[in-house]
Chain A
Amino acid sequence: MGAIITLSLLGILVLYLGLYKAKNALLPVSILGLLLALGFEAYYWNVEADPLYSGMVIFDHFSLSFSMLCIALTILILLLSKEYFRAISNNIAEYYTLILFSLTGAILVCSYHNFAMLFIGLEIMSVALYILAGIRRNDKASNEASLKYFLMGAFSTGFLLFGITLLYGSTGSFDLAAIKQHIVDNPTGISPMFYGGILLLLVGLCFKVGAAPFHFWTPDVYDGSPILITTFMSTVVKIASFAGFLKLFSMVLVPLNEFWTPVLLTVVIITLFLGNVTALMQTSFKRMLAYSSISHAGYMLFAILSIGANSASGILAYSAAYGLASIVAFGGLILVKRQVGSDHFESFNGLGKRNPWLAFSITIAMLSLAGIPLTAGFIGKFMMFSNVMNDYHTVLLILAAINAAVGVYYYLRVVVHMYFMKSEAEQTVSMPVNFQVVFVVAVILTIVLGVYPDLILRFI
């Protein structure tokens, strides 16, 4: 709870700093506040985990570790923002505030124990993002992304709420523990309404995490939003939504898995193929990353498909690897785009000569996203695949392996462009200090997690 209160107050404080024109204090204050919140989360690690505030929230190891991951990734993203927001507008305090509020919502989603908190957390998280997606007010692509994100977000909230209502109607409670008790007590007498509710919840949550066939907003929104906001959306927000998704299914709906497994299996297969095959055909690096994030959602759904003792730590490892690699990839894109002015693959031509260190970081990130051994991405994929293998979903495993191979092709395409293609422009790409810090941290973490996966797997 300390972290949630800290972040809410921090958001208001940053807004006031903006009011009093203390522009240089915005970033340090935000980072300090985030570190404080991280400290609070670490402090609660050894406290007995009981549902607090009439069973509204729970801070167990599951929610604490996902919250800490979200806060840490936000710190990295904010470090990248140093000059980024200034180029957009003079009033940058609002952007920091909105990111902090969105993070507050993400932490609520990680730690809910009652559907009311899930709903409120998702709304806090997304409403702030609707605005952030449109912060380039005169850019039509940014406008379009903002409007599409708003319409699809509100639409999916409707499905989620209808699902929650049907669950409430058949069990008489919004509390996760009470609903679980209801399922355990009446193994045969569960009303059809409850099943309808599960399906609608599934639709709502698949919209939020961007799984096919409810993914169609993702590429447009990720492509149109400013790159830094896309980074936040595709890492923190996605990870938090997955934590909420996994918590609901692993805590409450496990006994009914015969009902929802076929549905989710279909979703996973469509998601994998759609994400990977469409990513192959992209000419823009940013849009390729958007489609790849769809296919990563498919891999992460594996853990929900075969829920077991390892699901939570598997998703944690996968999302940590995915988050770190995405931050490096998008950060590299920011630098390249600043220099060349385009986000197509061609703008990466010759980067290996123009800035070897940047090219090396992006290469590590791509290898991690593709799941090559000795990077964190491999550990994530390995955990997901072994989960599914234990459940004997052989067909799914084969399809996933094909998709992983397809993924290697389009991730390595940018590496080929960096090292083996000549560019017309020979000037070097400069790299500010804050970018260097973030890249060093992210690359080292990616390799360390790939070599010693125990560091993250023993968390939950």
Chain B
Amino acid sequence: MGNLLENMQGIPLNHYLIFCSIIFVIGVIGVLIRRNVIIIMMSIELMLNSVNLLLAAFSAYLGDPSGQVFVFFIMALAAAEVAVGLAIIIMVYRNTKSVDIESLNKLRW
């Protein structure tokens, strides 16, 4: 464990921060520009996982385990959310025969 901590601290914290921000932004852009619902969900997962990585890095640097515990919460709840989300997508697919977000245009401002 000590070895792992040293390895993690071998990389400056700023690098983790920049790396995770880039992954997060990729996720945000994916949600905004992709039209396939499955890919949008993958992009959301990417956002959550960048948060997980950043939390682990902070936790290693601060020497505080609560950040890593938070990562478990995020993973568990993200799994629950994906389970519900996939069920919703299947329900939509049965009605529209499509996973394209543009096929959902019944409600408009």
Contacts and interface: CB of A to CB of B under 8 A. Distances in A.
Interface of A: 115-116, 119-120, 123, 127, 130-131, 134, 137-138, 140-141, 143-148, 150-151, 154-155, 157-158, 161-162, 164-165, 168-169, 172-174, 193, 216, 219-220, 223-224, 278
B109 A278 contact: yes
Given A119-B73, A151-B44, A158-B47, A165 B58 contact: yes
Given A119-B77, A151-B37, A161 B48 contact: yes
Given A137-B91, A143-B95, A169-B58, A158 B48 contact: yes
Contacts of A216: 109
Nearest to B31: A155
A155 B51 CA distance: 13
Contact of B88 (A115, A147, A157, A224): A147
B82 to A, nearest CB: 9
B9 interface: no
A130 to B, nearest CB: 5
Contacts of A148: 104, 107
27 contacts: A120-B73, A123-B77, A127-B84, A138-B95, A141-B106, A143-B91, A143-B96, A144-B106, A144-B107, A146-B92, A150-B85, A151-B37, A154-B41, A155-B31, A155-B47, A158-B27, A158-B44, A162-B24, A162-B47, A162-B50, A165-B54, A168-B58, A220-B107, A220-B108, A220-B109, A224-B106, A278-B109
Interface string B38-62: 0011001001101100110010001
Contacts of B87: 131
Interface of B: 17, 24, 27-28, 31, 37, 40-41, 44, 47-48, 50-51, 54-55, 58, 62, 64, 66-67, 69-70, 73-74, 77, 80-81, 84-85, 87-89, 91-92, 95-96, 104, 106-109
A253 to B, nearest CB: 20
A291 to B, nearest CB: 9
Contact of A127 (B81, B96, B107): B81
Nearest to B93: A143
A158 B40 CA distance: 13
B73 A116 contact: yes
Contacts of B73: 116, 119-120
Secondary structure at the B interface, as helix, strand, loop or mixed, is helix
A11 B92 CA distance: 27
Nearest to B73: A116
Given A155-B31, A162-B24, A140 B106 contact: yes
A196 to B, nearest CB: 9
Contact of B77 (A120, A150, A158, A278): A120
A151 B55 contact: no
Contacts of B44: 151, 154-155, 158
A132 B19 CA distance: 37
Contacts of A140: 95-96, 104, 106
B100 to A, nearest CB: 11
Given A119-B77, A120-B73, A168-B55, A145 B91 contact: no
Given A148-B104, A158-B24, A168-B55, A134 B91 contact: yes
A172 B80 contact: no
B62 to A, nearest CB: 5
A134 B88 contact: yes
Given A162-B54, A165-B55, 20 more contacts: A116-B69, A120-B73, A130-B88, A138-B95, A141-B107, A143-B92, A146-B88, A146-B91, A147-B88, A148-B107, A151-B31, A154-B81, A158-B27, A161-B51, A165-B51, A165-B54, A193-B17, A216-B109, A220-B109, A223-B107
